[in-house]
A and B are shown apart, each in its own frame.
Chain A
Amino acid sequence: MEAYSNLMQAILDGEFVFTGELEPEKTTNLEELVEGAKPLVGYAVACNVTDNPQSMAYMSSLVASYIVQRDAGMETIYQLRCSDRNRLALTADILGAAALGLRNVLALTGDHVSLGDNPGAKSVYDLDSALLTYMIRKMVDEGVDLAGRPIHEPPKLHVGVAVNPNADPLEAEIMKLKRKEVAGADFAQTQVIYTMEKVDSLFDAYSQYDIKIPTLIGIFPMKNYGVADYFDKNIPGVSVPKELLETLKKASEITDKKKRKEKYMEINLDYFEAFVREIKKSDARGVHVMAVGYEEMVRELIARVRGKA
């Protein structure tokens, strides 16, 4: 297999990879995003750039991915949802992405548009994540679009998919991942998990269904107690371990701002360094750190895991 991206090359080389996450918002100014990506260069091999997360109408992930690569020198994983685009628009965006030098796409079905900030919008779902994967594969490998029409100079990029180890029933989720593997996914990133138990049950299921997609485990260091509490209460199907939540709560009571910040760092590093070291022993091929706006933490975590490895 040929690698078009640094991410894929690192995976093929057997490195334990780290990816980060960046979130363009409702703005035309990407300075913060670019500045957030810079400290991670040399630490994370690539960063996801979210596409209308939670169905919020934000700046185009295609454009943001390009600008981050150009101005921060950080490779991106361009997220692409089926919620907002039919197969023509998806084809157009993939061709555009390849022309702009993007080398990784994350194919997502996408949250329903009624959950977002323009809830009356028409949702599309002409394709789903498995079919988008299938389409991109055809474009890259066969040089044709979904209808079989030839592409003059086909795109060269890798397609990733998402998998949720918290899903219940897990078997249905794993079978769906199997479809995505059949469709041709190159790599997978998981939703946030906090325990090895989830990691192990995921890879047990992988072996049961003979799934071999290189997979990065999603983790979520939490910048402060507010973020942790919100996540715990509002993201269905996953909860922050009680003890960790308690420790963060205690830290939130520290009045000195600097000390509080340090404490949060310490708590996160304690928990996640140990967790990532354990993940490293599993079949995981890396970790996807979904700590938007918490670069110092992401950088330090990666440095520690690498340093003492």
Chain B
Amino acid sequence: MICVIVVEQKPLEDILEMVKGYERMLVLGCDGCAGIYQVGGEKQAEMLSSLLRMGEKTVHNKENSKIEASAVLRQCDKEIVREALENTIGDYDVILSMACGAGVQTVAEVFPETPVLPAVNTKFIGMQDRELGDLHERCRACGDCILDETGGICPIARCAKSLLNGPCGGQVEGKCEVGGYEHDCAWILIYRKLKEFGKLDQFMKLRLMRDNRISQSPRDMKGGIKYTGGGGE
């Protein structure tokens, strides 16, 4: 199980529409989250660039568009992006990024002269189930984690109403009214887990309203963040 920012490629027609009017394009993959599960990595960037080449010819009747592909280790890292592209950025009119929204904006900040467009939709912070190849939302980065009170199951991300005092009247035999009773009701999962732990008193407790300022965007964490490059160095 790993945790990633889940992205999904936009429909090709939408991407073609977006790049209308540009001649020299770089499809830029990200080998971070988007690459890990093969949606926006180097291979997918190459694949998308060949589809775009075909599309430019057949849809836009343009023979001479220059469409190239490459990828960087992490598009959300300014230094990595700068090093990888500073010598070639002048060769392109547009960058088509396959990273999450943070990656797209990082590239745009590093190269403010070049338009950077999203080739993917950024969806959620996901947990991957490798066996089934599924991705599930488990955390919404709410800024005030209450997993300690809820048996380790997040009601913010997993309850369709993000309720603090569920289950709501919409649960039927442990399934949620949203999405046609396919998803588990988070609050029934919480109930079962806390029951297992002998902590139903915690379940029964009235949880008071949140201070929503905690998750007010835009959020920052300023200073004191020591960059190690990963790997626990």
Residues of B within 8 Å of A3, CB to CB, are: none
Indicate if the CB atoms of B168 and A115 lie closer than 8 Å.
no
Indicate if the CB atoms of A237 and B173 lie closer than 8 Å.
yes
B178 at the interface (CB under 8 A from A): yes
Indicate if the CB atoms of B169 and A175 lie closer than 8 Å.
no
User: What separation, in Å, do the CA atoms of A178 and B206 have in the docked complex?
Assistant: 9
Indicate if the CB atoms of B200 and A175 lie closer than 8 Å.
yes
A169 at the interface (CB under 8 A from B): yes
User: What separation, in Å, do the CA atoms of A178 and B201 have in the docked complex?
Assistant: 11
Name the interface residues of B174-198: CB closer than 8 Å to any CB of A. 174, 177-178, 181, 187-188, 191
Min distance, Cβ A204 to any Cβ of chain B, angstroms: 17
A200 at the interface (CB under 8 A from B): no
Min distance, Cβ A26 to any Cβ of chain B, angstroms: 22
**Which residue of chain B has its CB nearest to the CB of A124?**
B161
Q: Chain A interface mostly helix, strand, loop or mixed?
A: mixed
Min distance, Cβ B211 to any Cβ of chain A, angstroms: 10
Indicate if the CB atoms of A236 and B181 lie closer than 8 Å.
yes
Residues of B within 8 Å of A60, CB to CB, are: none
Partner of A131, one of B168, B174, B203, B209: B209
Indicate if the CB atoms of B206 and A123 lie closer than 8 Å.
no
Partner of B169, one of A125, A131, A162, A168: A162
Residues of B within 8 Å of A109, CB to CB, are: 161, 163, 168-169
Indicate if the CB atoms of B167 and A131 lie closer than 8 Å.
no
Indicate if the CB atoms of B204 and A179 lie closer than 8 Å.
yes
B61 at the interface (CB under 8 A from A): no
Partner of B208, one of A115, A125, A131, A167: A131
With an 8 Å Cβ cutoff, the count of chain A residues facing the other chain is 35
B130 at the interface (CB under 8 A from A): no
Central interface residue in B161, B167, B169, B209, by most chain A CB within 10 Å: B169
Min distance, Cβ B112 to any Cβ of chain A, angstroms: 33
Partner of A115, one of B163, B174, B177, B212: B177
Residues of B within 8 Å of A300, CB to CB, are: none
Min distance, Cβ A254 to any Cβ of chain B, angstroms: 34
Min distance, Cβ A162 to any Cβ of chain B, angstroms: 6
| Per-position binary interface string of chain A over residues 118-136, scored 1 when its CB falls under 8 Å from any chain B CB and 0 otherwise | 0000010111111100100
User: What separation, in Å, do the CA atoms of A292 and B22 have in the docked complex?
Assistant: 61
**Which residue of chain A has its CB nearest to the CB of B162?**
A125
B171 at the interface (CB under 8 A from A): yes
Indicate if the CB atoms of A131 and B164 lie closer than 8 Å.
yes
Residues of A within 8 Å of B115, CB to CB, are: none
Residues of B within 8 Å of A123, CB to CB, are: 161
A182 at the interface (CB under 8 A from B): yes
**Which residue of chain A has its CB nearest to the CB of B176?**
A112
| Per-position binary interface string of chain A over residues 169-202, scored 1 when its CB falls under 8 Å from any chain B CB and 0 otherwise | 1011101101100110000000100000000000
Min distance, Cβ A198 to any Cβ of chain B, angstroms: 15
Min distance, Cβ A129 to any Cβ of chain B, angstroms: 7
Q: Which 10 A-B pairs have the closest CB atoms?
A: A130-B165, A172-B191, A237-B172, A175-B204, A179-B206, A236-B172, A125-B161, A109-B168, A128-B165, A112-B178
Question: Interface of B with A (CB < 8 Å)?
Answer: 160-174, 177-178, 181, 187-188, 191, 200, 203-206, 208-209, 212
Besides the known contacts A128-B164, A176-B166, 10 further A-B residue pairs in the complex with CB atoms under 8 A apart: A109-B163, A111-B177, A112-B170, A114-B178, A115-B178, A127-B209, A128-B168, A129-B165, A146-B209, A236-B177
> Can you name 26 A-B residue pairings with CB atoms under 8 Å?
A109-B163, A109-B168, A111-B169, A112-B160, A112-B161, A112-B177, A123-B161, A125-B161, A126-B209, A128-B161, A128-B164, A128-B168, A129-B165, A129-B168, A131-B164, A131-B165, A131-B208, A162-B169, A164-B169, A168-B172, A171-B191, A173-B167, A175-B204, A178-B204, A179-B204, A179-B205
